[in-house]
A and B are shown apart, each in its own frame.
Chain A
């Protein structure tokens, strides 16, 4: 038998336990909107039984631990999927930016009264304008106004090339800047995780149990880091977490062993390596990898294609133009100067004096149009260095290639976000706080608290009865 005083203690323990239960429910309710939070439960068990004549007798209840409901496997999956989605999202947004900067849109609504073909003014239109200018000049090679029109077309095309080149270069710079800032952010996250490791190890070492809230915070930081760069984590028995990126350990227990840095691998190509290493890290996910991927993939291809297009146009047009004769019998001038999309310009000598356009095949024949005609026919020439495509075809192939990269990236992002959503829903179903549940728990603990208080009341009355026995 416990005796009245022991029963009073039983009631007091029960009161404390129920109170702790409602405290945990309160903690859960308070964090219902905290995305990093995993719900907690008070683990309770019966307290040590007391031997009695009729066998061991229960002595009430005690709280054992506050446990966190989380699934480590799921979190690991989420962590690696976060890296993938970080990379995909970065690629999608970078490619969208590239698409915008290229400025090629299909518009079939005809808004220009002078043209039967509508279209946003882009390189496609610019190329047509140049060759149309040659065509018009071929029907009227001596005409000063047609010469002016041609020069305007050529200048329009050249400045269109220049703009596309400088805009694409701008995208490249933006991507490099973003890589730099992501590396800085990764380093600061690594420092934070190292600090949290330290706090977790210290707080769990002394009294046992788990530092739930610190672990929540660390998990959040790990996921933020995963979004930037793919990380591998290994849990240590003391509660610490080792972090490595691309096989290089950056965090070992409570000490940060290395940091990330960007470096110029040549030609302004910013890559990422560990400070102690000379070679770039192998990145397979995360925003940094996504940005590098677009910069050195689709963007580089697009830049190379437009440069190749411009260079080939300059070479082909100049080769024909140089052999022609202007209205005064002069010869040997180039129509375009420069070597690529960024540097292409119309020869200034021609701009100041359109009569120096060399459209005639023989000197002293203003009506000879053989050069203008050959230049006009260049529009339909399949150029071998452009994979046997015409200039327009090469350009539309380039646009389509970018469109293809972006379109397949859109699909990947969509597919992947379905996976991410599913994982997130699964995690939520394990770790998320439900208001209904917590309210029920609160009522449960409240009722138990009231009952325990009643027990104390009864025992107290019994004690009074015993004390007042006469």
Chain B
């Protein structure tokens, strides 16, 4: 084929452009470590990456949810431990208060129980990040309101929360309700920590009853009624403590699963998006060599013409 002066230079320019474009693409890949950046690079991969990234973000959010729930569960656990301590001491007092004790001693016990009641009401009104833990979903106000007599003794308590608990998602379509209710006398749904009709627990009222029996010196009633009642309360509290432990370990397991899922999602994103550096660099050096060769040969040929030899 006949090759003309400009035809030759035009071809050279086109070839150089192609080589430059190729080098630029490879250089971008090497610098970013990604073979896919824009949708045009690999539409199918971009779709998979976007889906995986959305999944990964959701997965991260699940981990956030779990962390938040775990925080609440830990706070609940401390409060339950507090109840357990109070219950232990109340049980002890109920056992100590027998017919051998003087009225003064019984009064002293009554004062101690009075303090335990106040402490228990305080625990029942425990807050976590501004929310009352034991009020069900009505958690913007204290679940327990105590009524006191002129001596400052708590004579009755009212539960103001509800029996509804909030469910949170910890994995796709897996929701858990971890809240502990203060009271549930309905006989279904989650059990109450302080008052529960199924286990017969009614901790605060039982403490109040102990207090009034101590004050009146009715040791018989303490032995016959209060002691067994407090034992049921203790059991109920222990039930909640162990349930809380199970919950925490469930959260931990789910968190570990979510974490490893996160790793595998990231690995899949990187599989789709990341450039094989070794391959990219080899290709880059190949096209660099081609570019240099084209430049060198082109420059040598471009300068030659018949004009150099005619006089």
> Which residues from chain A sit less than 8 Å from chain B, CB to CB?
32-33, 95-96, 99, 102, 104-109, 115-117, 119, 124-125, 127-128, 131-132, 135-136, 138-143, 327, 360, 362, 364-370, 373, 376-377, 379-380, 392-393, 395-397, 399-404, 406-407, 410, 421, 424-426, 428-430, 432-436, 439-440, 443
Contact = CB atoms under 8 A, between A and B. Distances in A.
28 contacts: A32-B5, A99-B39, A102-B39, A105-B37, A106-B38, A109-B34, A115-B60, A119-B53, A124-B54, A128-B53, A138-B168, A139-B65, A139-B68, A140-B129, A142-B139, A360-B137, A365-B137, A366-B137, A367-B166, A368-B164, A369-B168, A373-B166, A377-B169, A380-B172, A392-B50, A400-B43, A429-B2, A439-B305
B140 A366 contact: yes
A373 B173 contact: no
Interface-central residue, B11, B39, B69, B129, by most chain A CB under 10 Å: B39
Given A138-B168, A403-B46, A429-B7, A116 B137 contact: no
Nearest to B162: A365
A466 to B, nearest CB: 39
Contacts of A107: 34, 37
Contacts of A360: 137
Interface stretch (B87-95, B196-204, B266-274, B279-287): B266-274
Contact of B54 (A128, A136, A365): A128
Given A116-B56, A407-B42, 5 more contacts: A117-B53, A138-B169, A367-B166, A369-B167, A403-B47
A142 B38 contact: no
Interface string B96-140: 000000000000000000000000000000000111000111111
A379 B60 CA distance: 14
Contacts of A365: 136-139, 162, 164
A140 B305 CA distance: 82
B57 A117 contact: yes
B137 A399 contact: no
B169 A135 contact: yes
B40 interface: yes
Contacts of A105: 37-38
Contacts of B58: 128, 131-132, 135, 379-380
B51 A138 contact: no
Nearest to B132: A367
Contact of B50 (A138, A396, A432, A436): A396
B44 interface: yes
Task: List 6 A-B pairs, minimum CB-CB distance, nearest first.
Answer: A403-B39, A403-B43, A367-B139, A432-B4, A400-B47, A396-B50
Contacts of A395: 50
A443 B38 CA distance: 58
Nearest to A407: B40
Contacts of B6: 32-33, 428, 432-433
A429 B1 contact: yes
A365 B11 CA distance: 77
A115 B54 CA distance: 12
Contacts, number: 225
Interface string B56-67: 111011101100
A81 to B, nearest CB: 16
A167 to B, nearest CB: 15
B8 to A, nearest CB: 9
Contact of A140 (B37, B131, B140): B131
A80 to B, nearest CB: 21
A446 B114 CA distance: 130
Contacts of A131: 58, 61
B5 A436 contact: yes
A407 B47 CA distance: 14
Given A436-B305, A443-B310, A377 B60 contact: no
Contact of B38 (A99, A138, A368): A99
A402 B39 contact: yes
Contacts of A399: 39, 43, 46-47, 50
B186 interface: no
A435 B306 contact: yes
B7 to A, nearest CB: 4
B53 A429 contact: no
Given A99-B40, A373-B167, A373-B169, A138 B307 contact: no
Contact of B307 (A368, A434, A435): A435
B26 to A, nearest CB: 16
Contacts of A132: 57-58, 60-61, 64
B296 interface: no
B286 to A, nearest CB: 19
Contacts of B140: 142, 327, 366-367
A434 B307 CA distance: 12
A439 B39 contact: no
Nearest to A124: B50
Contact of A367 (B135, B307, B310): B135
B33 A106 contact: no
A135 B169 CA distance: 7
B49 interface: yes
Contacts of A436: 5, 305-306
A367 B110 CA distance: 36
Interface-central residue, A380, A400, A436, by most chain B CB under 10 Å: A400
Contacts of B277: none
Contact of A135 (B34, B43, B65, B306): B65
B57 A128 contact: yes
A428 B7 contact: yes
B60 A116 contact: yes
B297 interface: no
A400 B136 contact: no
B131 A367 contact: yes
Contact of B270 (A95, A108, A138): A108
B14 interface: yes
Contacts of B7: 425, 428-429, 432
Contacts of B62: 135
B129 A106 contact: no
A392 B310 CA distance: 72
Given A142-B140, A396-B54, A406-B40, A108 B10 contact: no
A436 B8 CA distance: 13
Interface string B22-48: 000000000011101111111110110
Contacts of A141: 166
Contacts of A439: 305-307, 310
B287 to A, nearest CB: 16
